[in-house]
C-alpha cells in the first residue's frame, strides 16, 4: 500500500507543528504550508532533512499547487490569538474565507479528505453552558473579535457547502483553549501572558475580576482527538477540548504557584478592565467526541502546565530568563 500524503496548512504554527510530528510518526508523508505570518520556523526545524517532510512557504489565500497525490488536508492556517487577529484583522478574514476556499479547492481536485480547524469562538459569548455542537452561538459580527469569530464561522459554512455540493469528505473540528510547548510567549493568550510577565519580573494581568471561565486542553490530547476525528466517519462538528472548567483568576494563581516552585520567584497579580466581547464562560460538551471518537483528555492541568512552563523557561530570552 502506498504511503499516505497529508498536507497541513499553518504547519509551522503551535498546533500545526505538533500535527506534523504526529502524522510523520504515523508513517505519513507530510507537506507543511506556512507563510510565517504567525508561525515559527523553529517549530519545524527538527523536521528538515526528514525524507517524509516537505515544506512550502506560501500564502494559502493565493492559488495552491501541490504535485502528486494528496490523501488528507488539515487546514490550520490562521492567526489564532487575540493579539494576532486584532493586529492582523484583514489577513484573519482572508485566510478564513479565501484561504479556506483555496484549500477546499485543492481537496476537491485531489479527492482528499479535508479537516477544518474551527474554534469554540464560533459560540461567541455563549448563552448556553456548556457549549454543545448544536448551539448556533452569540457573536458580535462587527466587534473587534468578530474578524476571527466570523472568519471561522464562514470557514465552517464553506466547508459544509463543499461537502454537500461537491461531495468533499470533510471533518469539522471545534478547538477549545489549548496549551503546550511551542506557544509563543507574546501571543496574548492567558498562559503565555502569565508566564511571560513572570519571566520579565512583571505582574500577571487578569482582566475584569477574573471570574470568567476557560477550559484548557493540553496539546497532546488535542492532537489525539484530531487524529481520531480525521479517521472517523462523521461530517458533523465535533468539540475537542478539556471540560475541566476554571476561572481565569484561579488559573493565574495556579501558574503563580508553579512559577514560584520552579523558579523561586513569585509574580504579583494585577487587574485591568475586561476587553469588549470577552466570553464570560467557555466549557466544551465533549459527549459527541466520547461517543463517536472514544476520545477524552488524559493529561492533568498540573502536568501539562509543568511541561509548558519548562518549555517557556528554556526558550525565554537569556537576558530575561529568571532561572
What are the DSSP calls for 204-237, one per residue?
EEEETTS--EEE-EEHHHHHHHHHHHHTSS--SE
Name the DSSP letter for residue 2.
Answer: P
Beta strand 204-207 with 237-240: parallel, antiparallel or unpaired?
Answer: unpaired
pLDDT at site 155: 98
Domain boundaries, the chain: 5-177+219-240
Instruction: Check if CATH label 3.90.75.20 holds for domain 5-177+219-240.
Output: no
- Residue 177's closest CA among 276, 73, 308? 308
Question: Over the stretch 157-171, which tens digit does the pLDDT of each residue have?
Answer: 999 999 999 999 999
pLDDT at site 265: 87
pTM equals 0.95
Determine the average pLDDT of the residues in 67-73.
97
pLDDT at site 26: 98
Which member of 85, 123, 148, 162 is catalytic?
A: 148
pLDDT at site 279: 85
pLDDT at site 269: 96
Res. 321 pLDDT band, cuts 50 70 90: very low
Distant-in-sequence, close-in-space partners of 2: CB < 8 Å, separation ≥ 6: 69
- Residue 214's closest CA among 238, 179, 181, 180? 179
State phi, psi for 159 to the nearest 5 degrees. -60, -45
Determine the average pLDDT of the residues in 40-66.
97
Q: Residues 143, 277: contact at Cβ < 8 Å?
A: yes
Report whether pLDDT(125) > 80.
yes
Which grid cell is 214?
A: 476557560
Active site residue 218: no
Amino acid at each position: 500500500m502506498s504511503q499516505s500524503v497529508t498536507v497541513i496548512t499553518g504547519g509551522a504554527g503551535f498546533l500545526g507543528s505538533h500535527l506534523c510530528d504526529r502524522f510523520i510518526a504515523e508513517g505519513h508523508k507530510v507537506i507543511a504550508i506556512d507563510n510565517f505570518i504567525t508561525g515559527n520556523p523553529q517549530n519545524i526545524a527538527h523536521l528538515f532533512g526528514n525524507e517524509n517532510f516537505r515544506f512550502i512557504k506560501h500564502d494559502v489565500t493565493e492559488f495552491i499547487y501541490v504535485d502528486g497525490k494528496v490523501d488528507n488536508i488539515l487546514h490550520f492556517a490562521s492567526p489564532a490569538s487575540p493579539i494576532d487577529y486584532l493586529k492582523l484583522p484583514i489577513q484573519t478574514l482572508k485566510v478564513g474565507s479565501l484561504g479556506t476556499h483555496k484549500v477546499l479547492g485543492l481537496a476537491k481536485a485531489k479527492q482528499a479528505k479535508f479537516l477544518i480547524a474551527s474554534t469554540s469562538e464560533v459560540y461567541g459569548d455563549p448563552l448556553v453552558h456548556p457549549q454543545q455542537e448544536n448551539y448556533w452561538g452569540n457573536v458580535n459580527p462587527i466587534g473587534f473579535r468578530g474578524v476571527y469569530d466570523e472568519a471561522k464561522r464562514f470557514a465552517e459554512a464553506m466547508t459544509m457547502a463543499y461537502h454537500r455540493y461537491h461531495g468533499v469528505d470533510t471533518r469539522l473540528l471545534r478547538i477549545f483553549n489549548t496549551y503546550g510547548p511551542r506557544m509563543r510567549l507574546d501571543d496574548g493568550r492567558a498562559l503565555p501572558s502569565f508566564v511571560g510577565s513572570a519571566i520579565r519580573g512583571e505582574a500577571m494581568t487578569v482582566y475584569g475580576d477574573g471570574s470568567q471561565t476557560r477550559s484548557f486542553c493540553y496539546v497532546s490530547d488535542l492532537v489525539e482527538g484530531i487524529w481520531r476525528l480525521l479517521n472517523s466517519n462523521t461530517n458533523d462538528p465535533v468539540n475537542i477540548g478539556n471540560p475541566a472548567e476554571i476561572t481565569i483568576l484561579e488559573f493565574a494563581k495556579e501558574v503563580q504557584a508553579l512559577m514560584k516552585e520552579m523558579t523561586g520567584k513569585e509574580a504579583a497579580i494585577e487587574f485591568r478592565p475586561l476587553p469588549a466581547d470577552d466570553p464570560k464562560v467557555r466549557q466544551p460538551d465533549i459527549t459527541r467526541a466520547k461517543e463517536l471518537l472514544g476520545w477524552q483528555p488524559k493529561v492533568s492541568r498540573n502536568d501539562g502546565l509543568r511541561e509548558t512552563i519548562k518549555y517557556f523557561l528554556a526558550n525565554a530570552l537569556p537576558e530575561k530568563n529568571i532561572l
